[in-house]
Every structure is written in C-alpha cells, then in structure tokens.
A and B are shown apart, each in its own frame.
Chain A
C-alpha cells in the first residue's frame, strides 16, 4: 500500500488534485519525484505538515511508510 500526500488550500491548485499517491520512502526522495514548482511550494517554511493527523513540530527526517497520510497545510485563512 503506497503513501498519500494531501494538499490543502492553494496547494491543491498547484498540485492539480487534492491528493497524490506516492511510493513510501524518505520525504526528500518523495518530493524529488514531484513537479519542481510544487515541490518548492511544499518546502516553504510557513507550510506546516501533519502526519496521520498529527501536526509535526519539525519536518526533518520524515520517512513515509506504506499507508501514511502526509498533509501539507498552508497558512490558514478561516472564519
């Protein structure tokens, strides 16, 4: 079972889809396989990450396992 990337807000437009299925592995390797413009947008500091529903304090050393869901959360603009 592969891993899934989930894109919120404007990142969904950039990715062209709300979700993307990717092969499991280190995040750096996963991002390297993506469209370059999208990968750069995902790496911006103010985009936060949530792995399986838990917001991550930092993004170093992430390795996606099969079945993982990694969400990319741009700055919120709610209410």
Chain B
C-alpha cells in the first residue's frame, strides 16, 4: 500500500497522474478517481486557493493515512493545487486503487469529503474584477458528518 500525497503550486496534468498511478498498481482490480476543476460560468474569472505550509500538507498526509487504515486499499493518490487557477484548470485529483471496488469508491469519497471541508485551504474567487473569499458551506459539513 502506498500513499502519494502532493500539494502543488503549479498546474498539473491529471490524465498523466492517473495513468502513472494505474501503472503503479497492476494488482488492483479497480481504481476510482475524482477530479475537481474550476467551474466555468457564474462570471468567475479566477479562483485562488491559499494554504499554510506548516499545516496543509501534513494534514493531507494524515487524512490519507486515515483512509488507508479504514479501507483495504492498494494505493492512494491525493494531488491538490494551491495558488491561482483559471476556469477549467484541475484543482484536486484523488484516486484510490483496491482489489475490490467498494473500498476504492469509499476511500476516494472519504478523502474528497474531508479535503473539501476539513483541510487547511482558503479559497477566493475573482468575479467582476473583485476578489471574494468563499465561506464554508453547510453541505460540506453534512458530507463529513456521515463518516463519523
């Protein structure tokens, strides 16, 4: 079992990251992946994610470790951007490889739900020439409450 957790300040290619991950886990019967990207529309010209060096990556690594303990996974890939992104840019890629698909689905979803609402990122959007900080959404807290 390997956990590959990355915090990137530059654009990344999710397709090649996924291909490399699949190639690294030939014994896995299934790989579930989720790609989050900057939504087009709503007048949003850019999205910026900020992180805090001493906490953000260590927190992501701890989250991956929790998923590893909870499900039977062959591998877990977590890639998260920080910095300024344009509509269509990838933000986050989570992939879980497992012998059985249910572990892969659950592991990937658990990591994604916690990245959204329980990781050290702050987000703001540029729309109409004005930057606006995004507040946490109640739905995000509901999403993690169901894992307790």
Residues of A that sit less than 8 Å from B by CB: 6, 8-10, 12-13, 50, 52-53, 55, 69, 71, 73-79
A50 CB contact (under 8 Å) in B52, B112, B123, B134: B52
Q: Chain B: which residue is nearest A6 at the CB level?
A: B52
Whether the pair A79, B54 counts as a contact (CB closer than 8 A) is no
B18 within 8 A of A: no
Q: Which residues of A contact B121 (CB under 8 A)?
A: 76-79
Whether the pair B54, A50 counts as a contact (CB closer than 8 A) is yes
Q: What 7 additional pairs, Cβ within 8 angstroms, besides A8-B50, A9-B122, A71-B54?
A: A9-B133, A50-B52, A71-B52, A76-B122, A78-B115, A78-B117, A79-B92
B11 within 8 A of A: no
Nearest chain A CB to B22's CB is how many angstroms away?
23
B36 CB contact (under 8 Å) in A50, A69, A77, A79: A79
**A13, A50, A74, A78 pick with most chain B CB within 10 angstroms:** A78
Complex: how many Å from CA A69 to CA B52? 12
Nearest chain B CB to A33's CB is how many angstroms away?
23
Whether the pair B115, A55 counts as a contact (CB closer than 8 A) is no
Q: Which residues of A contact B136 (CB under 8 A)?
A: 75-77
Q: Which residues of A contact B84 (CB under 8 A)?
A: none
Whether the pair A53, B55 counts as a contact (CB closer than 8 A) is yes
Q: Give residues of chain B (103-148) contacting chain A, Cβ–Cβ below 8 Å.
A: 112, 115-124, 133-137
Complex: how many Å from CA A53 to CA B52? 9
Nearest chain A CB to B5's CB is how many angstroms away?
14
Q: Chain B: which residue is nearest A52 at the CB level?
A: B54
A79 CB contact (under 8 Å) in B50, B91, B124, B135: B91
Query: Taking A50-B52, A79-B116 as contacts, is the C-beta distance between A74 and B91 under 8 angstroms?
Result: no
B44 within 8 A of A: no
B45 within 8 A of A: no
